[in-house]
Amino acid sequence: MAILVTGGAGYIGSHTVLILLKYGIEVVILDNLCNASHKIINRLEKITNKKLIFIENNIVNRICLKNLFKKYDISTVMHFAALKSINDSLHQPLLYYSNNVTGTIILLEEMLSANIRNFIFSSSATVYGIDSPIPYCETNSIGHTTNPYSTSKLMIEFIIRDFVKVNPSFKAVALRYFNPVGAHESGELGENSTGVPNNLLPYIAQVALGRLKKLNIFGNNYNTPDGTAQRDYLHVIDLAEGHLNVLNHLPKIKGYKVYNFGSGKIFSVLEVIKIFEKISGKKILFEYKPRREGDLPSFWADTSLAKNELGWQAKRDIYTMIRDMWNWYIKNPNGLN
Ligand code: NAD
Ligand code: WQD
């Protein structure tokens, strides 16, 4: 039996593949490399000393999926494959809906025809939208998303929920990730962001490498202790390990379940900058700019459900996250491109 990891050459997918292989779980990776490099497969083989089964293709390719499900004994699909840039989605909504939503529908249809009935989906804390009570709890209502990317995740959660209702032997888990950062301690894997990063930590790293002049801090008049926005950061290895907890818990799951994957701890932009400067010894120049459209002042996860039901909680602290992230960038200043 093997796990199909769609998007397994990506940032979170590759770290999860590493953890699965470490625990002796067979993996098949499907990734079209639209936001990843084939080199990550070589890195994974180097770290694990194993030959990986990697199929370079698109999740919308039904023939590919049918052949893959025929050839490999897949028990579960971990579905990481998606386009994930909020900013890009605002300019290319149809691309995001076709890639993320249509792609997932096709995947589910082909899983059903192949009688593969375990599905673990990478959702996002952004499905809680702009007016959900904080800390975000899985029982909060979801919606009022602010961009096509987050709406694609919201739509997929509804699709999975409705699909499982009429296929009671199907098990599905949606994991709402908060803000994953960091990298494997080897520095062999990491976030391979191309172009100017949207996210805070990769942007800070580019400033530290001298690639970008300064960081624009979007808003310093939020109702937070230092006026800058706060986020719930979690180490990507904690996140990857959490997928093992879900796998082990699958036999007890009935139907469709949702879990927050966050640390429950928040740090502001200024706090992150200070910690980064301490760890890296680099000075990060910054300038305050107006708030970024769609940004919230502060949100974090209620982590109790994942802790009580999955026995999972984030363990690594913000210093470890930033130290491992910076180690990746020092070793791979140009990413893997
Ligand atoms: P990533 O871009 O590094 O990984 C996604 C991978 O999927 C890439 O390797 C890409 O090449 C592949 N892919 C995309 N569309 C595909 C398609 N149609 N067919 C085959 N492969 C395809 O992103 P990530 O940060 O690793 O995110 C993984 C998942 O987690 C995504 O679903 C994302 O929406 C979700 N997520 C990410 C974050 C975050 O901040 N990184 C937060 C919440 C949720
Ligand atoms: C964090 C904080 C910014 C960049 C992320 C992903 C999004 C989604 C959810 C997938 C915010 C501030 C940032 C910069 C800044 N992932 N910031 N200057 O916004 O919480 O969303 O998680 O579901 O794709 O982006 O994370 O890293 O973009 O921003 O001041 O150049 O840093 O305003 O307060 P965010 P982020």
Phi, psi angles (nearest 5°) of residue 106: -60, -45
* Structure confidence by residue, pLDDT tens digits, 228-240: 999 999 999 999 9
Q: Which long-range contacts (CB under 8 A, 24 or more apart) does 52-57 make?
A: 52/17, 52/27, 53/2, 53/27, 53/28, 53/29, 54/8, 54/9, 54/29, 55/28, 55/29, 55/30, 55/31, 56/31, 56/32, 57/30, 57/32
Question: Atom 32 in ligand 2: which residue has the minimum CA distance?
Answer: 200
pTM for this predicted structure:
0.98
Across 134-152, average pLDDT? 96
Q: Which ligand is nearest to the CA of 16?
A: 1
pLDDT value for 12: 98
Atom of ligand 2 nearest to the CA of 230: 34
Query: pLDDT tier at 293 (50, 70, 90 boundaries)?
Result: confident
pLDDT given for residue 147 in this prediction: 93
Cβ of 124 less than 6 Å from ligand 2: yes
Q: Out of 11, 149, 203, 222, which one is annotated catalytic? A: 149
pLDDT in tens, 12-30: 999 999 999 999 999 999 9
Rounded-to-integer distance, Cα 55 and Cα 29, Å: 6
- Is 256 one of the annotated active-site residues of the chain? no
* Confidence band of 195 (pLDDT split at 50, 70, 90): confident
Per the model's pLDDT, the better-predicted residue between 168 and 196 turns out to be: 168
Distance 70 CA to ligand 1 centre (A): 25
Bond before 333 cis per omega within 30 degrees: no
Distances (CA, A) of 330 to 92, 106, 276, 324: 33, 39, 13, 10
Distances (CA, A) of 229 to 61, 197, 220, 239, 268: 40, 18, 8, 22, 5
The answer to whether residues 299 and 128 touch, using CB atoms and an 8 Å cutoff, is yes
Domains of the chain: 2-184+232-263 (3.40.50.720)
If one residue of 121, 154, 177, 200 were mutated to test the ligand 2 pocket, choosing by the most ligand atoms within 8 A of its CB, it would be: 200
Average pLDDT, integer, range 239-255:
97
Each residue's pLDDT tens digit, 107-139 = 999 999 999 999 999 999 999 998 899 999 999
Of 4, 5, 6, 11, which is best to mutate to test ligand 1, by the most ligand atoms within 8 angstroms of its C-beta?
11
C-alpha of residue 7 to centroid of ligand 1, in Å: 6
| Ligand sitting nearest the alpha carbon of 156 | 1
Average pLDDT, the chain: 96
- Rg of the chain over CA atoms, in angstroms? 19
